[in-house]
Amino acid sequence: MSQESSHQRPDFGRETALRGPFVFFFVAALVWLLAASALGLIAALKLWMPSFLNCEWLTYGRVTVVQKNLFIYGWATNALLAVNLWLLSRLTSFEFRNGWIAVFGGLVWNATLIYGVQQIFAGFLNGFSLLEMPREVGPVLAIAFLLAGFWPVVAFARRPSGHTFAAQWYVVGASFLFPIFYLIAQLLVLWCPASGVVQALVASWFVQNLLQLWLAASALGIAYYFIPKVLERPLAGYYLATVGFWTFFLFAGWTAPATLLGSPIPVWIQSVGVVAMVMSIVPIIITAINFHGTFAQNGGWANAWNSTSLRWVALGTISFTFVGLLRAIFYTRGYSAIIRFTEFYQGLDHLLVYGFVTMVIFGAAYFILPRVTGALWPSVKLIHVHFWSVTLALIVSTLVSLYGGYQTGLDLSKGAPQMIGGGKAHVLTAAAFLLGHAAFALNALGLIFRGLTSAENRQHD
Amino acid sequence: MNDRHRQPDRQRSEGTSDGRLVEIHAQIAREKEEPREGFSLTPIFIVFLFCGFGFWAGLYLTRNSGDFSASAFDLDVPKASASAGPAVFEPDAAKGEKLFVANCAACHQATGLGMPGAFPPLAGSPWVAGTDERMIKIILVGLAGEVEVKGAKFNGNMPNIGAGLKDAQIAHIATYVRSAWGNQGEPVMDTKVAEVRKALAGHGQFSPQEILKAHPLEAK
């Protein structure tokens, strides 16, 4: 143990300052992850056996909505707040002294989330995807985010050297933009609703921004950091990263109308959405060159596979490239006409939010948690259980959603609608996700507990 | 203490240090402009590829944006209304007046009163009232012979003025004539003109007897 702490000595001060906020956000994220996975299993069971858990609070509509909100605002956002803070403090040598402000913001965020979720269960929900929580939640969440999640921007603004790195750009961009588009969406959708179709347009714009400019952008920052860091080599084609960054942020906000193809919004707005969706291939190609090009050199794939953390990041980047190409193809008019009312697009969103963002967060957690807490992972078996159950569940659920959705679309366009298939498969994958997440949470909580007790011991020494 | 377990990340070194990570990549970003040995073709290929995407985007937007109109909601509708534009014909007496002045007023006069003894009047004439076919036919192929209009006899020779005019123009003229100078006839549609023109293919000038047999003057 003494050898380890001397090994960590250079970073020790910074890491201990970060320990409180990081552990707080990560434990909150874990709790929400377990809650969301349990609700995911309930929702899948209800789709299969509608009379399961037959009470008003647990109707399918409310359960899926709460599950989605908890997964994104509870799990992914809490975890990204923790990882973004850690990443930017490391990259800018930022002395984070105001941990209590972040923790206070985190407390407000999670308390508000509990209130919002309880309101949804009670039936007070809005009809806009990911804005379902009652509107009084919006401003509070925005302020809580500013307290908890704006620190990467502060760290970036106060960086000592002029050099910057792609990981910083994405994390700073994401942390900077989230409060802005969240507040705009709250204002134009819930508080002073824009008239007519503009409201629906803003709501879909918000969803795309949330998925891409907050979740995916943060995860891109994490990937840009861990790949060269763990492989100990510079990124391939790094000079392209600037173009990738700007095109990603430019086109992501414009993609929303493509999700509304065929609805009564002016046709030029729909076309702009399709163009943005297709042009998003530019950052996809560049990040693919940066990530996969680096993995392809000198046995990088094998190294990534053998690293507990980089394995997740590598899988996540593959998902990102894949989902980017699929979005560019299947959000065009011809395909949209076939699959717009099926689970195909849910499958794509799932591949982005889970296959990319969540996988990358897992990778970051396996790297950061031992370093922040100074403890080791209690069980290697649980790591394997986590990896395999989650990876297989991701592959199967994505294939079922994409293939099943496409088949349903073909049936619908032939005028022969059928019962949506894949119900049993979704129950199995939801159970596998829950199993993997339980293994991860058990392992991580054990590690955090160990770290905290050993830290106390160290203080006594 | 945990040596029994495999902990790949912990046993390996920290990885590249963070300061070095930023430094190396900043260097790569700076050095991109310098020509190097073994210059890779990738950048130029990517530039062309992205230009191709941009070209496609412009093309797609031009073709599928409904002229950026706020009222075009569907790709098929603006095309249909564009091709159906002339089909939605509005008989327009104002356009008819201009065409009348240019094509007819030399004989029938802008007042519609004609020239006594030479050209019959149109104002209050039963020939332009009632059915529109009579009038369209005369404009299209002309009329030669002795006719009686409002008690006066005219022995004229009206050429096939309408042969050089479009259906819509003839419809405008007829609409104007039937609504001006106190005349009270129904407007004339271009489809009607097209129909009549088709039926008259190869027909020469009418004689008064022939046209009156087909379309007797309606009593007021």
Average confidence (pLDDT) over A347-374: 94
Find residue B157's DSSP bridge partners.
B144
Task: Place A11 in a pLDDT band, splitting at 50, 70 and 90.
Answer: very low
Q: Cβ separation of B65 and A267 shorter than 8 Å?
A: yes
- Domain count across chain A: 1
Average confidence (pLDDT) over B169-176: 87
Chain A stretch 362-421, residues whose beta carbon is closer than 8 A to a beta carbon of chain B = 366-367, 370, 376-377, 379-380
DSSP string, A337-371: HHHTTSTHHHHHHHIIIIIIIIHHHHHHHHHHHHH
Q: Cβ separation of B18 and A91 shorter than 8 Å?
A: yes
User: In Å, how far is A264's CA from the nearest CA of chain B?
Assistant: 6
Task: Tell me which residue of A130, A138, A22 sits closest to A84, measured CA to CA.
Answer: A22
Classify domain B93-214 at the CATH superfamily level: Cytochrome c-like domain (1.10.760.10)
User: In Å, how far is B38's CA from the nearest CA of chain A?
Assistant: 15
pLDDT of A3 > 70? The answer is no
Candidates A268, A274, A379; nearest CB to B68: A268
Which chain A residue has the Cα nearest residue B76? A267
Q: How far apart are CA A372 and CA B193, in angstroms?
A: 88
pLDDT of B111 > 90? The answer is no
Task: Place A7 in a pLDDT band, splitting at 50, 70 and 90.
Answer: very low
User: In Å, how far is A143's CA from the nearest CA of chain B?
Assistant: 31
DSSP string, A109-128: HHHHHHHHHHHHHTT---SS
Q: Which of A24-28, A138-142, B102-106 has the lowest mean pLDDT?
A: B102-106
A-B interface: how many C-beta pairs under 8 angstroms?
124
Could you tell me the two tokens for B114?
Answer: 């004609």
| Domain limits for position A201 | 2-460
A164 touches chain B (CB under 8 A): yes
H or E element that contains B158: strand B152-158
Predicted model pTM: 0.75
pLDDT of A124 > 50? The answer is yes
Residues of B in contact with A446 (CB under 8 A): none
User: In Å, how far is B89's CA from the nearest CA of chain A?
Assistant: 26
Question: Domain extents for chain B?
Answer: 18-68+74-83, 93-214
Q: Cβ separation of A289 and B23 shorter than 8 Å?
A: no
Could you tell me the two tokens for A417?
Answer: 């609608």
pLDDT attached to residue A325: 96
Residues of A in contact with B68 (CB under 8 A): 266, 268
Tell me which of B64, B67, B75, B81 to substitute to probe the interface with A (most A C-beta atoms closer than 10 Å). Answer: B64
Instruction: Say if residue A415 is exposed, middle or buried (CB neighbours under 10 Å; 0-12, 13-18, 19+).
Output: exposed
pLDDT of A386 > 60? The answer is yes
CATH of the domain at A147: 1.20.210.10
Task: Tell me which residue of A75, A147, A136 sits closest to A107, measured CA to CA.
Answer: A147
Q: At what angle do helices A137-149 and A166-185 cross, to 10 degrees?
A: 160
User: Do residues B172 and B91 touch, judged by C-beta distance below 8 A?
Assistant: yes
pLDDT in tens, B32-53: 555 555 456 567 888 899 999 9
Classify B148 as helix, strand or coil.
Answer: strand
Here the ipTM equals 0.80
Residues of A in contact with B80 (CB under 8 A): none
User: In Å, how far is A30's CA from the nearest CA of chain B?
Assistant: 22
pLDDT attached to residue B5: 42
Buried b (16+ CB within 10 A) or exposed e, B38-57: eeeeeeeebeeebeebeeeb
pLDDT of B131 > 90? The answer is no
φ/ψ of A357, rounded to 5, equals: -65, -50
pLDDT in tens, A228-267: 999 988 898 888 899 999 999 999 999 999 999 888 899 9
Task: Give me the residue label for tokens 């939605």.
Answer: B88
Tell me which of A11, A91, A268 to substitute to probe the interface with B (most B C-beta atoms closer than 10 Å). Answer: A268
User: In Å, how far is A275's CA from the nearest CA of chain B?
Assistant: 6
Q: How far apart are CA A235 and CA A241, in angstroms?
A: 9
Cα torsion for B53, B55, B56, B62, to the nearest 10°?
140
pLDDT attached to residue A460: 59
Cα torsion for A277, A279, A284, A287, to the nearest 10°?
-140
Q: How far apart are CA A429 and CA A434, in angstroms?
A: 9
pLDDT attached to residue A78: 96
pLDDT attached to residue B158: 84
User: Do residues A74 and A113 touch, judged by C-beta distance below 8 A?
Assistant: yes
> Which range, A14-23, A198-207, B183-192, has the best average confidence (pLDDT)?
A198-207
Tell me which of B65, B67, B69, B71 to substitute to probe the interface with A (most A C-beta atoms closer than 10 Å). Answer: B65
Sign of torsion, CA B136 B142 B144 B148?
positive
Find residue B158's DSSP bridge partners.
B143
Find residue B154's DSSP bridge partners.
B147
How far lies A293's CA from each of A164, A314, A322, B206, in Å? 21, 12, 15, 86
Q: Cβ separation of B29 and A237 shorter than 8 Å?
A: no
Average confidence (pLDDT) over A213-225: 96
Percent of all residues in chain B with a pLDDT value above 70, rounded to a whole number = 81
* Length of chain B counted residue by residue: 220
B3 touches chain A (CB under 8 A): no
